[in-house]
Protein backbone atom coordinates (compact mmCIF):
# COMPACT_ATOMS: atom_id res chain seq x y z
CA UNK A 1 0.00 0.00 0.00
CA UNK A 2 1.14 3.53 -0.75
CA UNK A 3 1.59 5.87 2.18
CA UNK A 4 -0.61 8.97 2.35
CA UNK A 5 1.19 12.11 1.15
CA UNK A 6 2.52 14.29 3.95
CA UNK A 7 0.13 16.93 5.24
CA UNK A 8 1.26 20.39 4.24
CA UNK A 9 1.18 23.11 6.90
CA UNK A 10 -1.22 26.01 6.56
CA UNK A 11 0.34 29.02 4.86
CA UNK A 12 -0.64 32.65 5.36
CA UNK A 13 1.88 34.75 3.46
CA UNK A 14 1.37 38.49 3.96
CA UNK A 15 3.75 40.94 2.33
CA UNK A 16 3.85 44.69 3.00
CA UNK A 17 6.36 46.91 1.28
CA UNK A 18 7.21 50.62 1.17
CA UNK A 19 9.21 51.72 -1.86
CA UNK A 20 10.68 55.22 -1.55
CA UNK A 21 12.27 57.35 -4.26
CA UNK A 22 16.05 57.03 -4.24
CA UNK A 23 17.68 60.04 -2.58
CA UNK A 24 14.96 60.48 0.04
CA UNK A 25 16.49 59.29 3.32
CA UNK A 26 14.08 57.36 5.51
CA UNK A 27 13.71 57.69 9.29
CA UNK A 28 15.33 54.60 10.83
CA UNK A 29 13.00 54.58 13.86
CA UNK A 30 9.93 54.69 11.60
CA UNK A 31 11.29 51.85 9.47
CA UNK A 32 11.98 49.77 12.58
CA UNK A 33 8.48 50.38 13.93
CA UNK A 34 6.85 49.51 10.59
CA UNK A 35 8.81 46.27 10.45
CA UNK A 36 7.97 45.27 14.03
CA UNK A 37 4.27 46.13 13.90
CA UNK A 38 3.35 45.42 10.29
CA UNK A 39 6.20 43.25 8.94
CA UNK A 40 6.72 45.99 6.37
CA UNK A 41 9.94 46.30 4.39
CA UNK A 42 11.41 49.60 3.13
CA UNK A 43 13.42 49.83 -0.07
CA UNK A 44 14.68 52.61 -2.34
CA UNK A 45 14.04 52.61 -6.08
CA UNK A 46 14.59 55.17 -8.84
CA UNK A 47 11.20 56.14 -10.24
CA UNK A 48 12.58 59.27 -11.90
CA UNK A 49 15.35 57.81 -14.02
CA UNK A 50 14.58 54.06 -14.09
CA UNK A 51 10.79 53.61 -13.76
CA UNK A 52 10.81 50.24 -15.54
CA UNK A 53 13.52 48.89 -13.23
CA UNK A 54 11.52 50.17 -10.23
CA UNK A 55 8.55 48.16 -11.47
CA UNK A 56 10.71 45.05 -11.85
CA UNK A 57 12.17 45.42 -8.34
CA UNK A 58 8.73 45.62 -6.72
CA UNK A 59 7.41 42.70 -8.77
CA UNK A 60 10.42 40.55 -7.83
CA UNK A 61 9.80 41.37 -4.16
CA UNK A 62 6.17 40.28 -4.46
CA UNK A 63 7.15 37.10 -6.30
CA UNK A 64 9.67 36.13 -3.62
CA UNK A 65 7.51 36.94 -0.60
CA UNK A 66 4.55 34.96 -1.94
CA UNK A 67 6.69 31.96 -2.97
CA UNK A 68 5.98 32.48 -6.64
CA UNK A 69 2.21 32.45 -6.30
CA UNK A 70 1.94 36.15 -7.16
CA UNK A 71 4.39 36.93 -9.93
CA UNK A 72 3.41 40.50 -10.69
CA UNK A 73 1.56 43.22 -8.80
CA UNK A 74 2.47 46.17 -11.04
CA UNK A 75 1.74 46.01 -14.75
CA UNK A 76 2.28 49.57 -15.97
CA UNK A 77 5.48 51.60 -15.74
CA UNK A 78 5.53 54.26 -13.03
CA UNK A 79 5.08 57.96 -13.58
CA UNK A 80 8.47 59.67 -13.12
CA UNK A 81 7.03 61.94 -10.41
CA UNK A 82 6.29 58.94 -8.16
CA UNK A 83 7.92 59.22 -4.72
CA UNK A 84 6.38 56.48 -2.57
CA UNK A 85 4.50 53.27 -3.34
CA UNK A 86 2.88 51.01 -0.76
CA UNK A 87 2.37 47.40 -1.82
CA UNK A 88 0.48 44.60 -0.10
CA UNK A 89 0.08 40.97 -1.13
CA UNK A 90 -1.68 38.09 0.60
CA UNK A 91 -1.29 34.41 -0.24
CA UNK A 92 -3.34 31.91 1.72
CA UNK A 93 -3.35 28.14 1.38
CA UNK A 94 -4.51 25.72 4.05
CA UNK A 95 -5.57 22.13 4.52
CA UNK A 96 -9.15 21.17 5.35
CA UNK A 97 -9.98 19.43 8.58
CA UNK A 98 -12.63 17.43 6.70
CA UNK A 99 -11.76 16.07 3.27
CA UNK A 100 -13.59 16.96 0.14
CA UNK A 101 -13.61 14.19 -2.45
CA UNK A 102 -10.44 13.07 -4.21
CA UNK A 103 -9.71 15.37 -7.19
CA UNK A 104 -10.54 12.68 -9.74
CA UNK A 105 -14.11 12.61 -8.43
CA UNK A 106 -14.70 16.33 -8.84
CA UNK A 107 -17.34 16.73 -11.53
CA UNK A 108 -18.65 19.61 -13.66
CA UNK A 109 -21.93 20.95 -12.32
CA UNK A 110 -24.11 23.87 -13.45
CA UNK A 111 -23.63 27.22 -11.71
CA UNK A 112 -26.15 30.02 -12.20
CA UNK A 113 -24.56 33.51 -11.94
CA UNK A 114 -27.86 35.24 -12.76
CA UNK A 115 -30.32 32.89 -11.08
CA UNK A 116 -31.65 29.47 -12.01
CA UNK A 117 -34.13 30.97 -14.48
CA UNK A 118 -31.18 32.08 -16.64
CA UNK A 119 -28.30 30.30 -18.37
CA UNK A 120 -25.65 28.40 -16.41
CA UNK A 121 -21.91 27.80 -16.66
CA UNK A 122 -20.27 24.48 -15.88
CA UNK A 123 -17.76 24.58 -13.02
CA UNK A 124 -15.69 21.82 -11.34
CA UNK A 125 -17.65 20.94 -8.19
CA UNK A 126 -16.33 19.21 -5.07
CA UNK A 127 -18.36 16.99 -2.76
CA UNK A 128 -18.17 16.09 0.91
CA UNK A 129 -20.33 14.97 3.82
CA UNK A 130 -19.66 15.71 7.45
CA UNK A 131 -20.50 17.84 10.44
CA UNK A 132 -20.03 21.57 9.88
CA UNK A 133 -20.97 24.84 11.60
CA UNK A 134 -24.24 25.99 10.01
CA UNK A 135 -26.99 28.58 10.40
CA UNK A 136 -30.03 29.55 8.36
CA UNK A 137 -30.99 33.23 8.72
CA UNK A 138 -34.59 34.19 7.82
CA UNK A 139 -33.65 37.83 8.47
CA UNK A 140 -30.98 37.79 5.76
CA UNK A 141 -32.76 35.20 3.61
CA UNK A 142 -29.45 33.36 3.46
CA UNK A 143 -27.53 30.42 4.88
CA UNK A 144 -23.99 30.23 6.19
CA UNK A 145 -21.73 27.19 6.52
CA UNK A 146 -18.24 27.01 8.00
CA UNK A 147 -15.37 24.83 6.81
CA UNK A 148 -12.60 24.63 9.44
CA UNK A 149 -8.99 24.23 8.41
CA UNK A 150 -6.76 21.64 9.98
CA UNK A 151 -5.54 23.69 12.92
CA UNK A 152 -9.14 24.72 13.80
CA UNK A 153 -8.04 28.32 14.36
CA UNK A 154 -8.94 29.37 10.82
CA UNK A 155 -12.17 28.71 8.94
CA UNK A 156 -13.70 29.48 5.58
CA UNK A 157 -17.29 30.71 5.82
CA UNK A 158 -19.62 30.58 2.83
CA UNK A 159 -22.70 32.82 2.93
CA UNK A 160 -25.26 31.79 0.33
CA UNK A 161 -28.47 33.74 -0.36
CA UNK A 162 -31.54 31.59 -0.87
CA UNK A 163 -32.32 31.43 -4.61
CA UNK A 164 -29.11 33.36 -5.21
CA UNK A 165 -28.31 35.67 -8.10
CA UNK A 166 -26.10 38.73 -8.59
CA UNK A 167 -28.71 41.21 -7.37
CA UNK A 168 -29.49 39.26 -4.18
CA UNK A 169 -25.80 38.88 -3.37
CA UNK A 170 -25.14 42.61 -3.82
CA UNK A 171 -28.11 43.34 -1.56
CA UNK A 172 -26.73 40.94 1.05
CA UNK A 173 -23.33 42.65 0.86
CA UNK A 174 -24.87 45.98 1.84
CA UNK A 175 -26.36 44.39 4.99
CA UNK A 176 -23.21 42.66 6.20
CA UNK A 177 -20.39 44.39 8.02
CA UNK A 178 -17.77 42.87 10.31
CA UNK A 179 -20.00 43.13 13.39
CA UNK A 180 -23.03 41.52 11.74
CA UNK A 181 -20.81 38.80 10.28
CA UNK A 182 -19.46 38.03 13.75
CA UNK A 183 -23.02 37.81 15.09
CA UNK A 184 -24.01 35.51 12.24
CA UNK A 185 -21.06 33.21 12.91
CA UNK A 186 -21.92 33.24 16.61
CA UNK A 187 -25.34 31.76 15.80
CA UNK A 188 -23.88 28.75 13.99
CA UNK A 189 -24.32 25.24 15.38
CA UNK A 190 -22.82 21.93 14.31
CA UNK A 191 -25.01 20.28 11.69
CA UNK A 192 -24.53 17.22 9.54
CA UNK A 193 -24.53 18.18 5.90
CA UNK A 194 -23.99 17.09 2.34
CA UNK A 195 -21.94 19.75 0.56
CA UNK A 196 -21.39 20.59 -3.10
CA UNK A 197 -19.00 23.48 -3.59
CA UNK A 198 -17.17 24.84 -6.68
CA UNK A 199 -13.42 24.50 -6.79
CA UNK A 200 -11.87 27.97 -6.78
CA UNK A 201 -8.67 29.68 -7.73
CA UNK A 202 -9.19 33.41 -7.36
CA UNK A 203 -6.60 35.99 -8.36
CA UNK A 204 -7.42 39.67 -8.36
CA UNK A 205 -5.83 43.08 -8.09
CA UNK A 206 -7.27 46.09 -6.30
CA UNK A 207 -6.51 49.80 -6.46
CA UNK A 208 -6.71 50.64 -2.75
CA UNK A 209 -5.97 54.28 -3.53
CA UNK A 210 -9.31 54.68 -5.27
CA UNK A 211 -11.18 52.67 -2.63
CA UNK A 212 -9.71 54.65 0.27
CA UNK A 213 -10.39 57.97 -1.45
CA UNK A 214 -14.03 56.94 -1.84
CA UNK A 215 -14.11 56.21 1.90
CA UNK A 216 -12.83 59.71 2.66
CA UNK A 217 -9.07 59.15 3.06
CA UNK A 218 -7.79 61.72 0.57
CA UNK A 219 -4.98 63.76 2.13
CA UNK A 220 -2.61 60.76 2.10
CA UNK A 221 -2.62 60.86 -1.71
CA UNK A 222 -2.58 64.65 -2.07
CA UNK A 223 0.78 66.22 -2.89
CA UNK A 224 0.02 69.52 -1.11
CA UNK A 225 -1.87 68.16 1.94
CA UNK A 226 -0.14 64.89 2.79
CA UNK A 227 1.88 64.76 6.00
CA UNK A 228 4.31 61.85 5.89
CA UNK A 229 7.30 63.65 7.38
CA UNK A 230 7.62 60.95 10.05
CA UNK A 231 9.12 58.74 7.32
CA UNK A 232 12.04 61.13 6.90
CA UNK A 233 14.59 62.58 9.32
CA UNK A 234 13.77 66.21 10.13
CA UNK A 235 16.86 67.56 8.37
CA UNK A 236 16.09 65.54 5.26
CA UNK A 237 12.42 66.48 4.88
CA UNK A 238 11.51 67.46 1.32
CA UNK A 239 10.76 71.02 0.32
CA UNK A 240 7.10 72.12 0.42
CA UNK A 241 6.76 71.91 -3.36
CA UNK A 242 7.98 68.31 -3.25
CA UNK A 243 5.97 67.13 -0.26
CA UNK A 244 6.05 63.38 0.30
CA UNK A 245 2.75 61.65 -0.49
CA UNK A 246 1.51 58.20 -1.51
CA UNK A 247 1.35 57.86 -5.28
CA UNK A 248 -0.22 54.41 -5.39
CA UNK A 249 -1.49 51.78 -2.97
CA UNK A 250 -1.79 48.35 -4.54
CA UNK A 251 -3.21 45.05 -3.34
CA UNK A 252 -3.25 41.63 -4.99
CA UNK A 253 -4.53 38.30 -3.74
CA UNK A 254 -4.14 34.67 -4.75
CA UNK A 255 -6.70 32.38 -3.10
CA UNK A 256 -6.94 28.67 -3.84
CA UNK A 257 -9.79 26.47 -2.59
CA UNK A 258 -9.51 22.84 -3.62
CA UNK A 259 -10.14 19.30 -2.40
CA UNK A 260 -7.10 18.92 -0.14
CA UNK A 261 -7.78 18.14 3.50
CA UNK A 262 -6.91 15.86 6.41
CA UNK A 263 -8.78 12.71 7.24
CA UNK A 264 -7.89 12.67 10.93
CA UNK A 265 -10.31 15.42 11.90
CA UNK A 266 -13.20 14.25 9.73
CA UNK A 267 -16.51 13.21 11.22
CA UNK A 268 -18.45 11.05 8.78
CA UNK A 269 -22.18 11.29 8.40
CA UNK A 270 -22.72 7.78 9.75
CA UNK A 271 -21.23 8.75 13.13
CA UNK A 272 -23.66 11.60 13.73
CA UNK A 273 -26.88 11.95 15.61
CA UNK A 274 -29.65 10.53 13.44
CA UNK A 275 -32.52 12.66 14.75
CA UNK A 276 -32.02 15.43 12.17
CA UNK A 277 -31.76 14.98 8.40
CA UNK A 278 -28.58 16.34 6.83
CA UNK A 279 -28.59 19.82 5.33
CA UNK A 280 -28.11 19.88 1.57
CA UNK A 281 -25.69 22.77 1.05
CA UNK A 282 -25.26 23.04 -2.70
CA UNK A 283 -23.50 26.21 -3.83
CA UNK A 284 -24.82 26.81 -7.34
CA UNK A 285 -25.28 30.58 -7.33
CA UNK A 286 -23.31 33.71 -6.31
CA UNK A 287 -21.99 33.63 -2.75
CA UNK A 288 -19.82 35.44 -0.23
CA UNK A 289 -16.64 33.88 1.09
CA UNK A 290 -14.87 34.89 4.28
CA UNK A 291 -11.68 33.33 5.65
CA UNK A 292 -11.31 34.24 9.31
CA UNK A 293 -8.81 33.66 12.08
CA UNK A 294 -11.44 32.68 14.63
CA UNK A 295 -9.64 33.43 17.94
CA UNK A 296 -9.04 37.07 16.91
CA UNK A 297 -12.00 37.35 14.48
CA UNK A 298 -9.57 38.84 11.95
CA UNK A 299 -10.63 38.45 8.32
CA UNK A 300 -7.85 37.22 6.04
CA UNK A 301 -10.06 37.35 2.97
CA UNK A 302 -13.58 38.54 2.26
CA UNK A 303 -15.22 38.83 -1.11
CA UNK A 304 -18.07 38.01 -3.45
CA UNK A 305 -17.88 35.21 -5.99
CA UNK A 306 -20.35 35.85 -8.79
CA UNK A 307 -18.96 33.35 -11.28
CA UNK A 308 -16.32 30.78 -10.20
CA UNK A 309 -15.62 29.81 -13.81
* pLDDT tens-digit series, residues 16-33: 888 888 887 677 888 888
Does residue 37 form part of some domain? yes
Q: What is the pLDDT of residues 199-253, one digit of tens each?
A: 988 777 777 788 788 888 888 888 788 877 777 776 554 454 457 777 777 777 7
Does residue 286 form part of some domain? yes
Question: What's the pTM?
Answer: 0.77
Q: How many other C-beta atoms can be found within 10 angstroms of the C-beta atom of residue 307?
A: 13
Residue 184 and residue 273 in one domain: yes
Give the pLDDT confidence score for residue 197 in this predicted structure.
Answer: 94
In which domain, by residue range, is 144 found?
Answer: 103-198+264-305
Does residue 191 form part of some domain? yes
Instruction: For residues 298-306, give the mean pLDDT.
Output: 88
- Under DSSP, the state recorded for 234 is G
Percent of the chain whose predicted confidence (pLDDT) is above 70: 88
Residue 225 and residue 238 in one domain: yes
**DSSP-H helix ranges across the chain:** 28-38, 51-65, 166-175, 178-186, 208-214
* Domains in the chain, number: 2
Residue 71 and residue 123 in one domain: no
Does residue 3 form part of some domain? no
Residue 119 and residue 161 in one domain: yes
Rounded Cα distance between 30 and 231, Å, is 6
Does residue 6 form part of some domain? no
For the chain, what's the residue count?
A: 309
Do the bridges between strand 189-198 and strand 121-137 make them parallel or antiparallel, or are there none, so unpaired? antiparallel
Residue 171 and residue 292 in one domain: yes
Does residue 211 form part of some domain? yes
Of the pLDDT bands very low, low, confident and very high (cuts 50, 70, 90), residue 9 is low
Rounded Cα distance between 177 and 152, Å, is 23
Does residue 140 form part of some domain? yes
Amino acid sequence: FLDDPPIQPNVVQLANGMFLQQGLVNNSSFVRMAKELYQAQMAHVNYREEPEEARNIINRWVNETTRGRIEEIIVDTFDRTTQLVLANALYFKATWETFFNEPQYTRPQPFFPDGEQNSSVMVPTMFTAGCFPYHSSPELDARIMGFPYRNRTTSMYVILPNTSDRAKLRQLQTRLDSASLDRLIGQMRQQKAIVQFPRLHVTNSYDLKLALQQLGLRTLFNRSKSNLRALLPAKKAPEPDANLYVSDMLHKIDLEVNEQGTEGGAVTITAMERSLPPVNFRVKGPFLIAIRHDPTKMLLFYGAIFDPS
